[in-house]
Amino acid sequence: MVSLFPVNERILELAKLLVAPGAIPEKAGPDAVHIAAAVVEGCEYLLTWNFRHIANVRIRREVERILARHGYHQTTICTPEELV
């Protein structure tokens, strides 16, 4: 996985929160890290073509709930087409 941000403890802790309650399957841990990095670093948008574990409507809703519950600012998860 290529990241523009160094993966730090805060990102890894948030990724664990996203996996633990079942929002993101455990086997998709790198996807949880991807979301966590965008959130922790304050990205306004996370663009992805990953419909299985990131741009999935059910997963997006659960991720939003987890982020709100833990006081994180929302990052809009969408496909490039949705942004345009």
Question: Which regions of the chain does DSSP assign to beta strands (E)?
Answer: 45-47, 76-78
Model pLDDT, residue 75: 93
Question: Residue 18 carries which DSSP code?
Answer: H
What is the predicted pLDDT for the residue at 11?
96
Please say whether the beta carbons of 75 and 45 come within 8 A. yes
Q: What is the pLDDT of residues 49-78, one digit of tens each?
A: 999 999 999 999 999 999 999 999 989 999
Q: How far apart are CA 81 and CA 5, in angstroms?
A: 24
The DSSP bridge pattern shows strands 76-78 and 45-47 to be parallel
Q: Give me the residue spans of the domains in the chain.
A: 9-83
Q: What is the pLDDT of residue 19?
A: 96
How would you label 57-70 residue by residue, b for 16+ Cβ within 10 Å and e otherwise?
eebbebbbebbeee
Q: Report pLDDT digits (tens) over 5-32.
A: 689 999 999 999 999 877 999 999 999 9
